[in-house]
Amino acid sequence: MMTPAGERLKTTARALRRLLECPENPARKYLLVECLQAYAPLSDAEKVELTSLLQTPPYEGTLTMIKTIYEEGMEKTQRRYVERVLLRRFKTLSNAVRERIAAYPAEKLDDLFDMAVDAPSLKDLGLED
């Protein structure tokens, strides 16, 4: 069923609100938001308009949910890339190293990735005793 052009933004906003209110866990909500974005793509202008719409009372909280879910997904991806680089360089990672990567501050993951490319050891990265 095709949604009329003028209704597409409101339909997307309502869907996001329903996702915010649903009892699913954050990972599942992330996948559902990704599905919504894939099957209801918006132009750049519509995305700006949607952001404004999501700041109005009926949709409060949805914008935060999208950012939070997106950020969680990005953080998970960054951690996975750090692990992949370290595995290529050092061949194995202990459970302790994996736990330290999992606990590493999200805002410093880019720096860890950059250092992981050239670090001579896991100890130099602060991931091993």
- Quote the crossing angle between the two packed helices 8-21 and 26-39, to the nearest 10°: 170
> How large is the greatest C-alpha to C-alpha distance in the chain, in angstroms?
60
The residues, any chain, with a CB within 8 Å of residue 42's CB and separated by 6 or more, are 8, 9, 12, 50
Cβ contact 123:129 at 8 Å: yes
Distance CA 18, CA 121 (A): 47
**Site of tokens 């360089």:** 89
Lowest mean pLDDT among 19-23, 55-59, 61-65, 89-93: 61-65
Give the pLDDT of residue 84. 95
Structure tokens, 59: 């949709």
The pTM of the full predicted model, rounded to 2 decimals, is 0.53
| Residue ranges with strand state E in 32-98 | none
Lowest mean pLDDT among 1-10, 24-33, 103-112: 1-10
Q: How far is CA 83 from the centre of its chain?
A: 17
Cβ contact 15:36 at 8 Å: yes
Q: pLDDT for 18-46, tens place per residue? A: 998 999 888 788 888 888 888 877 777 88
- Domain segments of the chain as ranges: 5-60, 72-118
Cβ contact 24:53 at 8 Å: no
Percent share of the chain, pLDDT over 90: 43
Give the pLDDT of residue 85. 96
Q: How confident is the model at residue 86 (pLDDT cuts 50, 70, 90)?
A: very high
pLDDT at 5 over 70: no
pLDDT at 115 over 80: yes
Q: How confident is the model at residue 92 (pLDDT cuts 50, 70, 90)?
A: very high
